[in-house]
Structure 1
Amino acid sequence: MGPVTTPLLLNNGQEHGEEEKPLSFLKQFRVESKKLWHLAGPAILTALCQYSLGALTQTFAGLVSEINLAAVSVENSVIAGLAFGVMLGMGSALETLCGQAYGAGQMRMLGVYMQRSWVILLTTACFLVPIYVFSPPILEAIGETTEISEAAGKFAIWMLPQLFAYALNFPIQKFLQAQRKVLVMTWISAVVLVIHAFFSWLLILKLGWGLTGAAITLNTSWWLIVIAQLMYIFITKSDGAWSGFTWLAFADLWGFVKLSLASAVMLCLEFWYLMILVVITGRLPNPLIPVDAISICMNIQGWDAMIALGFNAAISVRVSNELGAGNARTAKFAVLVVSVTSVSIGVVAMAIVFATRDYFPYLFTTSDAVAEETTKLAILLGFTVLLNSLQPVLSGVAVGAGWQSLVAYINIGCYYLVGLPAGIILGFTFSLGVMGIWGGMIGGICLQTIILICVTSIRNWNREAAEAETRVKRWGGAVADQ
C-alpha cells in the first residue's frame, strides 16, 4: 500500500488554493488546543485508570498492615517499575513509527509494526523473569531490609502474569494512539478499574486474602484490558491498520530492536530515576517508616504523572502525525501549546498538594508516624509535581520526532551524573535523610528540563519533517509493497 495523497493543510486549517486568512495567535492556540485535548483528555483518563490499578492495590494493602504496604510499594516501584519502564520504553518506538506512518498514509504498516513490537517485548519479558524470581536477594543487595525484601519478593513472583500483559498492552496502546483511537482505551480501562476496585475490597479486606488477593485482582485486571483491546482491534480491523497476523512481523527485526532499545533507554532512565529514590531510602536507619512515607508520595506523584503522560502521548501523536505529513510549522506550534497547557495544570496540582499535605497521607495509612513523615515530604512532592508537568511532555516531543538516542544521553548526564550523586551526598554525607536524597534528585530533573527546552527550541523543524519522510520510506516502503 503506497502513500495516500492528501491536501496539505495550513496552520489555520485551510487548503492550498484558498485565500489564506491570518489567524490571531489566540485563535491558533485555541484551534491547536482543541486538537490536543481531543487526544490528551482520553489519554489522561486511560493513564489514570491504569495507574490506579496498582495504586488502589497499594492503598488496600496499606489498610491491612505496614509490611503489606511496604511489600506492594516496593514491588510496584522497583520490580514492576523496572519492567514497566522497559516495556513502555521499548513499546514507545511505535509512537515514532506508527505516528509518522499514519501521517504519511501507510496504514497497513501499523499492524505490522505492532506485531514486531510484540515479538520483541515478549522476548524481553522472558529475560526479565529472573528479576522477579530472584527479587528478594536483589532487593537486599540494594539495601532493603530482609523483612521488606522477602515480602516484596513473594508478591513479585505472583505478579509475573502482569509482566506479560505489559508486553502486549503497550504496543497495542501505541498502535491505537497513532490512529487517535483513544476513547476505546479509556472506556475499557474505566470499566476494568471499577471491577478492580470491587474485587480488591472483596479479596484483600473482606475475605482477608491479603497479598494473595492483591495479586489475583491486579493480574486479572491487566489481562482484561489486553483482551478487550485485542477484541476491538480484531473485530473492527482498525480502519485497515490491522489485516491479520503476518510473517512480516519477523522482517527487519534488528533495525526495529535498535530503535526500541533507544526508546527503552530514554524512558527507563526517567522511570527508574524516582524509583531509585525508594531504593536509596531503604538504606536509611530504621527504613520502614521513611519507605512507607516516600511510597505514599510516589503514589501521589504517580497519579499526577499520568496527566503529564497523557499529554506525552498526545504531543507524540501530534508531532509524529504532522511531521509524517510534512507539516513542520504545525508540529512546532503544537509543542508550544502543550507546554503551556501542561505547566498550567502542574501549578494547580502543586497548590493542591500543599493545601492537602496534612490530610492526604491518611488515605494510604492508619499509622500516625507514617502520616507525619509524609506531610514533611509534601513540600518536595509539590515541586516534583510541577517539574514533572513539563518534562514528560518534552520527552513526548522527542519520541514523536525520533530523538530517543539524544535524549537518552541527556538523561544519563542530568539524572545519573548530577542528580543521583547530589541526592546521595545530601542524604547521607550531610545527614539530611530522605529530604536530601529527594532534593538532590530534583536538581537533576531541573537540569534535564532546561536542556530539553533548549534542544526543542533550536531544532530545525523543516529538517525534522524531511527526516520523517525518509524514515517512513525506509521502514515502510519496501515491506508495504509486499
Structure 2
Amino acid sequence: MDNQFQERLLNSGAEQDANLKGRVYEESKKIWRVALPGIISRFSSFGTVVVTQSFIGHIGAVDLAGYALVQTLGVRFVNGILIGMSSATETLCGQAFGAKQYHMMGIFLQRSWLVDVATLTILLPLFILASSIFKLLGEEAAIAESAGHIALWFIPFCYALVFSLTIQMYLQAQQKNLIVAYLSILQIAVHIPLSWVFVNLLNWGVAGAMAALNISSCVLLIGEFIYIFGGWCADSWKGFSMAALKDIIPVVKLSISSGLMVCLELWYNAILVLIAGYMKNAKVAISAFSVCININGLDFMICLGFLGAACVRVANELGRGDAKAVRFSIKVLLSTSVIIGLSFWILCLVFGNKLGNLFSNDEEVVKTVSDLSVLLAFSMLFNSIYPVFSGVAVGAGLQTKVAVINIVCFYIIGIPVGIILGYVAHLQVKGIWIGMLCGIIAETLALSFMMWWTSWDEEVLKASARLRNWYLKSPDESTF
C-alpha cells in the first residue's frame, strides 16, 4: 500500500510538473508574440537615434554635446509626455480587445491622436527656443547654439512619433505588431546608408544626419498608415468617426496620469544629463553620460518590449475577467525578463571598456564611458525588472499610483543622492550615475511590493466598469 501511495504521489507530481511546463510554454508564446516584434521595433527605432548620435559624434565634440542635450533633455522631455499619454491607448485598446469590443479600438486610437497632436503643438516653443532655454540653464554658449539648431530638426521627428507610437500600441493590443517590426527594420535599413550618403558622401554635416533621421521616420509612419487604412485591421478600424470626440475628457484624464507616470521615468535620466552639464569639463561629462544613457536606452528598448507584452497580456486578461491568468502571466514575464537582463549584465562587464569607441574619437569621452561601464551593467540588470511592473500598471490602469512611486524613488531619493555624490563627494559623473542607480533600485523594490499587494479580482471589476461606461455601438450594430 505504501509503495502504491508513493507511486500515485510521484505520478501526480509529474502530471503537475508537465501541466506547469505546458502553461508556461503557452504563456511564453503569447508573451513573445507581443514582445519580440515590440523589441525589434523599439530597438530599430531607437537605433536610428543612436546611429544619428554616432554620425554627429564623429563630426565634432560640440555638436555631439548639443545633440546630447536636445535628445536627452528636450526630445526625452516631450517624448516622455507623448509616450506616457499614448500609453492610455494601450490600456483602453488592450482591455477592449480582451472584452471583444474591437470597434472601440479604432475610436480610442483616434482620440489619442487628437490629444497627443494638441499636446505636442503646445510644447513646440521648447524646440523653437531651445538655444535660449539652454543658455538660461547655464550651459556653454557654443553647446547651446548647436543644440538650438538641432532642436528644430527634431520637430517633424516628434510629430511622426505621435502617430507612430499610438499606432504601434493599437496594433500591439490586437497582437498585429509583427508588421511594425518589419517596418522598423526597413526604417533602420534606410537610415544607416542614407546617413552615410548625407554626412560622409555629400558632406552635409549635422543637417544631413538629422535629415536622414526624419526621412527614415516617415518611412515607418507611411507603412503603418498603409497597413491600417488598407484593410488589414477591418475589425478594429471602421474609418474616421465623430465618436472620437465623445468622452474625450475622461481620455484626457487617463492620458495625463499615464503621461505623468512615464514622464517621471524618462525625465529622470534627462535631469541627470542636465546636472552633468555643470561639471568641470561639461563637454566630456555630457557626451560620456549621454553615450551611456543611450547604450542603457538600447537595452531599455528590449525591456520596453516586455513592458508592452505585460501591458497587453494584463489588459487582455482583465478585459476577459480572468484574475488568475493575470497573476500567472506576471510571473512568467518577470522570469523571462530577468534572464535577459542577467545576460546583458555579463556582456557589459566583459566589453564595457570598448563601448566609448563606437560613439566618439575623443579619448577623454572614451575613458569616462569605460569608467561608467560597471554601473551601466547594474543599471541594465535592474532595467529588466521594473519596466515589467510598469507595463502591468499600464495594462491595469494603475498609472497614478506608479507616478507617486516614481516621484519618491527617482526625485526624492535618486537625484539628491546623485547631486551629493557628484558634487559634494567629488565623484563627478560616476556619482551622478550611482544616484540614478539608487533611484532605480528603490523603484524596483517599491513596484515589487505594490504588485504583491494588488487585488487582481478588484482590478477585473474596475476594467469591466470602465469598458461598460465608455462603450459605443459600432456602425455594424446600428444597421440592425
- Note if 1:58 corresponds to 2:63: no
1:13 is aligned to none
- Note if 1:452 corresponds to 2:447: yes
1:182 is aligned to 177
Pairing partner for 2:303 from 294, 308, 315: 308
1:26 is aligned to 21
Pairing partner for 2:150 from 122, 130, 155: 155
Flag structure 2 segments of 5+ consecutive residues without an equivalent. 1-14
- Note if 1:356 corresponds to 2:328: no
> Contact 1:237/1:243 (CA < 8 Å) preserved in 2?
no
Kindly provide the CA deviation profile for residues 4-36 of structure 1, in whole angstroms up to 9, marking residues without a partner as x: xxxxxxxxxxxxxxxxx8554333222211211
Deviation at 1:417, TM superposition (A): 1.2
In 1, the alpha carbon distance for the partners of 2:44 and 2:405 equals 31
Q: Which moved more, 1:255-264 or 1:438-447?
A: 438-447
SS class of match (2:281)? coil
Pairing partner for 1:284 from 273, 279, 295: 279
> Contact 1:62/1:364 (CA < 8 Å) preserved in 2?
yes
SS class of match (1:245)? coil
Deviation at 1:166, TM superposition (A): 1.7
> Contact 2:103/2:474 (CA < 8 Å) preserved in 1?
no
Flag structure 1 segments of 5+ consecutive residues without an equivalent. 1-20
SS class of match (1:105)? coil
In 2, the alpha carbon distance for the partners of 1:160 and 1:328 equals 42
In 2, the alpha carbon distance for the partners of 1:384 and 1:259 equals 30
User: Structure 1 pair 143/345, CA: closer, same or farther in 2 (3 Å)?
Assistant: farther
Pairing partner for 2:216 from 204, 214, 221: 221
1:415 is aligned to 410
Deviation at 1:46, TM superposition (A): 0.6
In 1, the alpha carbon distance for the partners of 2:402 and 2:473 equals 29
Deviation at 1:141, TM superposition (A): 2.8
Deviation at 1:413, TM superposition (A): 1.0
- Note if 1:297 corresponds to 2:292: yes
- Note if 1:344 corresponds to 2:339: yes
Describe how 1:115-264 pairs up with structure 2 within 5 A.
115-264=110-259
State the identity %. 38
Q: Which amino acid aligns with 2:342?
A: V
Deviation at 1:68, TM superposition (A): 2.1
In 2, the alpha carbon distance for the partners of 1:99 and 1:31 equals 19
1:317 is aligned to 312
2:263 is aligned to 268
> Contact 1:70/1:148 (CA < 8 Å) preserved in 2?
yes
- Note if 1:86 corresponds to 2:81: yes
Describe how 1:99-110 pairs up with structure 2 within 5 A.
99-110=94-105
Kindly provide the CA deviation profile for residues 127-161 of structure 1, in whole angstroms up to 9, marking residues without a partner as x: 11000011112223334211111101111012211
In 2, the alpha carbon distance for the partners of 1:79 and 1:181 equals 31
Q: Which amino acid aligns with 2:206?
A: L
Kindly provide the CA deviation profile for residues 291-324 of structure 1, in whole angstroms up to 9, marking residues without a partner as x: 1111111111011000000000011000000110
1:391 is aligned to 386
Q: Which amino acid aligns with 1:172?
A: I
In 2, the alpha carbon distance for the partners of 1:476 and 1:135 equals 42
SS class of match (1:239)? coil
Kindly provide the CA deviation profile for residues 446-467 of structure 1, in whole angstroms up to 9, marking residues without a partner as x: 1111010011111111111121
Q: Which amino acid aligns with 2:381?
A: L
1:3 is aligned to none
In 1, the alpha carbon distance for the partners of 2:26 and 2:473 equals 37
1:424 is aligned to 419
Kindly provide the CA deviation profile for residues 234-256 of structure 1, in whole angstroms up to 9, marking residues without a partner as x: 00250310011111111111111
Q: Which amino acid aligns with 2:282?
A: P
- Note if 1:366 corresponds to 2:358: no
Deviation at 1:290, TM superposition (A): 1.4
**How many pairs are equivalent?**
462
1:18 is aligned to none
Q: Which amino acid aligns with 1:277?
A: L
Kindly provide the CA deviation profile for residues 396-436 of structure 1, in whole angstroms up to 9, marking residues without a partner as x: 00000110011111111111111111111111122111111
More helix by share: 2
Q: Which amino acid aligns with 1:114?
A: L
Q: Which amino acid aligns with 1:190?
A: I
1:473 is aligned to 468
Deviation at 1:479, TM superposition (A): 7.8
In 2, the alpha carbon distance for the partners of 1:409 and 1:160 equals 30
> Contact 2:31/2:313 (CA < 8 Å) preserved in 1?
yes
Deviation at 1:358, TM superposition (A): 1.7
SS class of match (2:234)? helix
Q: Which amino acid aligns with 1:206?
A: L
Describe how 1:34-49 pairs up with structure 2 within 5 A.
34-49=29-44
> Contact 2:186/2:220 (CA < 8 Å) preserved in 1?
no
Deviation at 1:114, TM superposition (A): 0.4
- Note if 1:443 corresponds to 2:438: yes
> Contact 2:91/2:396 (CA < 8 Å) preserved in 1?
yes
> Contact 1:64/1:205 (CA < 8 Å) preserved in 2?
no
